[in-house]
């Protein structure tokens, strides 16, 4: 029984997107529906706290919640209040949040995150920025910190295996905190993506060069996560189009992504989530046909999740036509706690997104722009 009841007036409306509302077997879990909440950076606390718990529990009607990117080691991010899963305190914080989501009937995976070369250099506590190679990202987008230092040239990681262990330990902590599974953040130009990408990875050892070598780091981590959770509780997020954080210019790197996705299917992980090309987010990247990657999963138990600017009608179509097993929504769910029940009925989500409060709470009140987005109300026209 949900602790956040959906409006009876909403529930009385006819369902016009029924496929989105069908259950999905995800390994040993059965998701209630095909609507997935994307990882969304919200910068509301290093240690997950009761306001975070409310935010996630309000959204527990979605089939699966993926937590915001959660750090596997204390590291510089521009999000100084980004949560972690690297010690007792951060693990204990998540324990309560996860319990609240479960109480509300939700399923939640922890997204495991290391930023690699795009760590914020001023917040690194004298630890150098690291990456697969000493190749600096172009640009610099530290939006909230003074000084706008821009990206720095990272120190090339000597032993990737040691970094893979950070993810394993974080997964162990996620398990202790009660998360239903873990998602490896291998997208959007962060550490794992930096290894996959031939622009940021110019290594000449076993972790660089060929598609197999550039996929090695990701797969080693996946194997650690499988050892901790079992394959059917492990997901991965990929962004083959690149763009964001200076990944992949020009040509799609299909050989590498084909190899990687094939290996993931072979391991039978729970899901592969792929972000499709988005004009703003993927600018400078390549238009990759994500459906070709989904085809690689057809003979496996691994489910295919697609993310990127969907509305309910298009999501319904993709799932109905078998192009994807579930659709991942970011901002609509951020702004609409009861998004799933609106989406399946074709009811408009909240459109009043408070951009200024995505990462910076107003008046130092973490709840503002976070847990105060309205549920559907009787008689109110959105």
Instruction: List active site positions.
Output: 190
69 binds ligand PHB (CB under 6 A): yes
Alpha helices (runs of H) in the chain, residue ranges in sequence order = 8-11, 50-58, 88-103, 160-177, 191-196, 211-229, 254-267, 290-295, 312-320, 331-335, 339-343
State the minimum distance, in angstroms, from the CB of residue 236 to ligand PHB: 13
State the minimum distance, in angstroms, from the CB of residue 40 to ligand PHB: 8
**Pick 63 or 69: Cβ nearer ligand PHB:** 69
State the minimum distance, in angstroms, from the CB of residue 273 to ligand PHB: 11
Q: Which residues contact 288 (CB under 8 A, 6 or more apart)?
A: 240, 241, 252, 254, 257, 276, 277
Task: Measure the CA–CA gap between 356 and 359, rounded to whole angstroms.
Answer: 7
41 binds ligand PHB (CB under 6 A): yes
Q: Which residue is nearest to ligand PHB (CB)?
A: 188
**Pick 41 or 96: Cβ nearer ligand PHB:** 41
State the minimum distance, in angstroms, from the CB of residue 250 to ligand PHB: 21
Task: Measure the CA–CA gap between 366 and 52, rounded to whole angstroms.
Answer: 9
Nearest to 238 by CA among 272, 209, 265, 190: 272
Q: How far is the CA of 342 from the CAs of 311, 338, 373, in angstroms?
A: 11, 7, 14
Q: Are 333 and 327 in contact (CB under 8 A)?
A: no
- Joined together, the tokens standing for residue 345 give 């009925």
Interface with ligand PHB (CB under 6 A), residue total: 4
φ and ψ at 25, to 5 degrees?
A: -75, 120
- Residue position matching structure tokens 């993709």: 318
Site string (183-212) toward ligand PHB, x via CB under 6 A: ----xx------------------------
**Pick 69 or 285: Cβ nearer ligand PHB:** 69
State the minimum distance, in angstroms, from the CB of residue 93 to ligand PHB: 20
**Pick 4 or 281: Cβ nearer ligand PHB:** 281
**Pick 78 or 338: Cβ nearer ligand PHB:** 78
Q: Please report, as ranges, the residues that interact with ligand PHB according to CB under 6 A.
A: 41, 69, 187-188
């Amino acid at each position: 029984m949900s602790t956040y009841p959906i409006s009876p007036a909403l529930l009385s409306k006819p369902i016009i997107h029924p496929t989105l509302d069908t259950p999905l077997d995800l390994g040993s879990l059965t998701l209630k529906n095909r609507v997935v909440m994307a990882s969304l950076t919200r910068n509301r606390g290093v240690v997950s706290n009761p306001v975070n718990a409310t935010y996630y529990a309000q959204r527990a009607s979605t089939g699966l919640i993926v937590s915001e990117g959660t750090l596997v080691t204390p590291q510089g991010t521009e999000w100084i209040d980004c949560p972690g899963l690297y010690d007792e305190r951060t693990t204990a914080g998540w324990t309560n949040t996860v319990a609240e989501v479960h109480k509300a009937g939700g399923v939640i995976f922890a997204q495991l995150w290391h930023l690699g070369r795009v760590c914020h250099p001023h917040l690194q506590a004298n630890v150098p920025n690291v990456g697969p190679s000493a190749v600096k990202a172009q640009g610099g987008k530290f939006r909230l910190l003074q000084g706008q230092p821009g990206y720095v040239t990272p120190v090339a990681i000597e032993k990737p295996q040691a970094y893979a262990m950070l993810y394993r330990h974080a997964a162990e902590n996620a398990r202790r905190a009660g998360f239903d599974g873990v998602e490896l953040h291998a997208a959007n130009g962060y550490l794992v993506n930096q290894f996959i990408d031939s622009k940021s990875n110019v290594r000449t050892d076993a972790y660089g060069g060929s598609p197999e070598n550039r996929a090695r780091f990701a797969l080693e981590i996946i194997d650690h996560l499988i050892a901790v959770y079992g394959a059917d509780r492990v997901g991965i997020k990929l962004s083959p189009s690149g763009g964001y954080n200076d990944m992949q210019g020009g040509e799609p790197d299909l050989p590498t992504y084909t190899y990687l996705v094939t290996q993931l299917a072979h391991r039978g992980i729970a899901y592969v989530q792929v972000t499709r090309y988005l004009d703003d987010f993927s600018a400078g990247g390549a238009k990759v046909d994500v459906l070709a990657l989904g085809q690689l999963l057809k003979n496996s138990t691994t489910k295919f999740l697609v993310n990127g600017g969907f509305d309910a009608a298009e999501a319904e179509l993709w799932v109905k036509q078998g192009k994807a097993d579930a659709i991942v929504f970011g901002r609509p769910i951020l702004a609409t706690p009861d998004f799933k029940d609106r989406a399946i009925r074709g009811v408009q989500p909240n459109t009043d997104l408070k951009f200024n409060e995505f990462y910076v709470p107003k008046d130092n009140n973490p709840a503002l722009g976070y847990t105060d987005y309205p549920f559907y109300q009787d008689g109110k026209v959105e």
